[in-house]
Structure 1
Amino acid sequence: MNYNNKSSQYFSNVRVEMLKYLPKDSSRILEVGCGRGCFGASLKKENNREVWGLELMPEEGKEAKKVLDRVLIGKCEDLLNDLPDNYFDAIYFNDVLEHLFDPYSLLKEIKRKLTDKGVVISSIPNIRYHNEFRSFLFKKDWKYEQKGVLDFTHMRFFTGKSIQKMYKDAGYVVNTHEGINKTKSLKPYFLNILFLFTQLDIFYVQYATVASKAQL
C-alpha cells in the first residue's frame, strides 16, 4: 500500500482523545503505527513511561526514534518476534487495524506481548458514520478518499458491532467500547427520525475500544 501521498500531518497527529483510555498504572507501552512518534512522546510525559513504536514508513520511523525509547521499522506482522513477550502494559492501535490485510490474526498473535494486566487500545473508523451511511444507502455510491473513513489505504471496514466481535474472537474481553469524535452535523438527527432513532451509531467517526486478555 502506497502511503507516500499522505501529508506530513498524517504521521504527526496526536490523538489526544485516546489518552484517557490508558490505564494509570501502565509503564511500558507499544504504539503500532507510531508515525513520527508524536502520540508516543505525549505518553512519555507522565510517570517516566517507556514507549516503543512500530512504523511501516522508514522516514517517519527515523523521526520517531528521536523521541521514543525504541522504534522498529517494517510491517508490524513481520516484527512480532522482535518484541519481548509479556512485556507491555498497553498496546495502542490508533486507526491502524483497518489498514491491515488480516487484523484478526494480528490481534491474536500480539496478545502474548501483553503483561497479565495488559490491554489493547484501538481507534477504528466506523463505516456506518452518517456521511458514508447516506452515500451508500441513498446515493448508492462508495467513493474512496485521501483521508477519513473511506481512506484509500484502508483494507478492512468495521461497524461498532463487528469491532467487538473481532476482539472477542481473538480471545479478549472488551472493557470499554464507545463512539468517539461525534459529529456536530444535524444530518444524523434527520436520518434517525426516518429510522425511529435506532441508528445512533452513525453520529461517530470512530470507535474507541479497550480490551484485555480473556482468562483461560
Structure 2
Amino acid sequence: MVEKSRKGEDFGTSSLGLFDTLAAIGIVTDAHREVFAKGTRDRADVTVYRDRQSEVIFIDGFYGGDAVYEDGAYRKSNEDQFGKRDLEVINDTARRLASYRPYVTGRKIVEFGCGDGAFLQAIRSEVDSCCGIELQEDYVWALNEKGLPCHKSLSAIPDGSMDSALSFHVLEHLPDPLSILFELKRVLKPGGILVAEVPHARDLLINELKNKAFTDFTLWSQHLVLHTRESLRRLLSAAGFENTIVEGVQRYSLSNHMTWLSKGKPGGHKSVLSAIDTPDLRQAYEATLNRIDATDTLVAIARVPA
C-alpha cells in the first residue's frame, strides 16, 4: 500500500513527524490539540488526537512499519473480524470507473497503493498504459504475472511520464504524506492530474451523530489522519498541486448507517435492509450528506502546474 520514501530511507522515517508536517502547513496546532481517543480498535497504546479548530483527527508518533503492508496479514485479520470486502470492492470500482473516466481514458496512468489491482484491471483496456505501485508482495507478483506492471516504489517511474495518478484511501496511511505527494507530482507531466480519495474526519457517524461503535471501528492504528476538505486542499497545495477541487463521496449507504445506529456494527448494506438502497435514494442521501459536509469520503482532483 505504501512505499519507501523518495530519499531512500524506510518510509516510516521522516525529517518531520506527522504532527509537525500538518502543523507546518497550518492544519493543526499544539494550542488546539486534544485527545480524541485513548487507543484504537487494534492498539490500546496508540493515542488519537483531534485539532479543535480544523477538526482533523490524527495519530502522532506511531507508524507500524512497511513490513505490515508488505506482508498483508492485516487484510486477512480484518476479513476475519468484519467479513470479506468483495461487494465493497465491486461497488468502489464501478463508482470510480464512472467518476474518473475523463481523467484516465486514453492516458498513461499510475495507481499508488493499487492493492490487488481491481481498478487497474477494470480500466486497462481504455487507457494508453497503466501501472501500479504496491507494497504487498503477493499482489505485486500476481499483477505482474497477469501482465499488468506493478512496482514497489514510485522510484521505478520516470519523471514526467504519466498523465494521471490515482490513489484511493492510501494517503491516510502515510506517516510522511508530503514526500509521497512530491513523488506523485514528479512522475506526472506538466498539467497532469492527481485523483486522491481519503476518509473524512467530518463523517456523519463520527462528527454529528457521535456513534461510538462506528468511531471505535474507524480509529485504526493504520489510519494516521482523517482529513477535512480544507486540510486536504492545504496538503496538496503544499506539495505544489493547483486548481484543487475537493468533493464529498458517500461510499456506504443509508442501510449501513441504520445498522450502525441500531446494532452498533457494519453490514447493513449486505442485509435484507439493503433493499431500501435504490439508486435514487443513494444519490439523494449522498447529496444530502454533501450539503452538510458529512460524507464518509473526500475526493480531491488536482493538477500539476503546466
Determine which of 284, 289, 292 is the counterpart of 1:200. 292
Q: 1:120: Cα distance to partner?
A: 0.7
Kept in 2: contact 1:36–1:62 (CA 8 A): no
**Any conservation in 2 of the 1:135–1:142 contact (CA below 8 Å)?**
no
Q: 1:65 to 1:10 in 2, by over 3 A?
A: farther
Which of 62, 75, 95 matches 1:17?
95
What amino acid is aligned across from residue 119 of structure 1 in structure 2? I
Aligned to 1:201, what secondary structure does the other structure show?
A: coil
What SS class does the counterpart of residue 176 from structure 1 fall into? strand
TM-score using structure 1 length: 0.76
Contact 1:86-1:116 within 8 A present in 2 as well: yes
Q: Which residue of 2 aligns with 1:179?
A: 248
CA deviation vs aligned residue, 1:45-77 (integer Å, no higher than 9, x gap)? 225x3111111110122222234531113xxxx
Q: Cα offset for 1:104?
A: 1.6
> Could you tell me which amino acid in structure 1 is paired with residue 292 of structure 2?
L
- Separation in structure 2 between the aligned mates of residue 16 and residue 119 of structure 1, nearest angstrom: 20
Name the aligned partner's letter for residue 112 of structure 2.
V
Kindly indicate whether the alpha-carbon contact (under 8 Å) linking 2:197 and 2:300 is maintained by their aligned counterparts in 1.
Answer: yes
Deviation at 1:86, TM superposition (A): 0.7
Structure number, greater radius of gyration:
2
SS at match of 1:18: helix
TM-score using structure 2 length = 0.56
Question: Are 2:174 and 1:100 aligned?
Answer: yes
Does 2:235 correspond to 1:166? yes
Q: Residues 164 and 59 of structure 1: is their aligned pair in 2 closer, same or farther, counting only changes over 3 Å?
A: same
* Residue equivalent to 1:50: 129
Against the structure 1 CA distance between its residues 13 and 179, is the aligned structure 2 distance closer, same or farther, given a 3 Å change threshold?
Answer: same
Compared CA separation, residues 59 and 99, structure 1 to 2 (3 A): same
**CA-CA distance at 1:135 after TM superposition:** 6.6
User: Is the 1:18–1:208 Cα contact (8 Å) retained in structure 2?
Assistant: no
Equivalences, count: 194
Checking the alignment, whether the CA contact within 8 Å between 2:105 and 2:126 is kept in structure 1 is no
Answer whether contact 1:167 1:174 (CA < 8 A) is retained. Answer: no
- Aligned counterpart for 1:29 among listed residues 109, 112, 136: 109
Higher helix share: 2
Question: What residue ranges of structure 2 are gaps of 5+ in the alignment?
Answer: 1-63, 262-288
Match of 2:120 among 40, 51, 65: 40
The CA deviation at 1:134 is: 4.4
User: What is the root-mean-square deviation in Å for CA atoms of aligned residues?
Assistant: 3.0
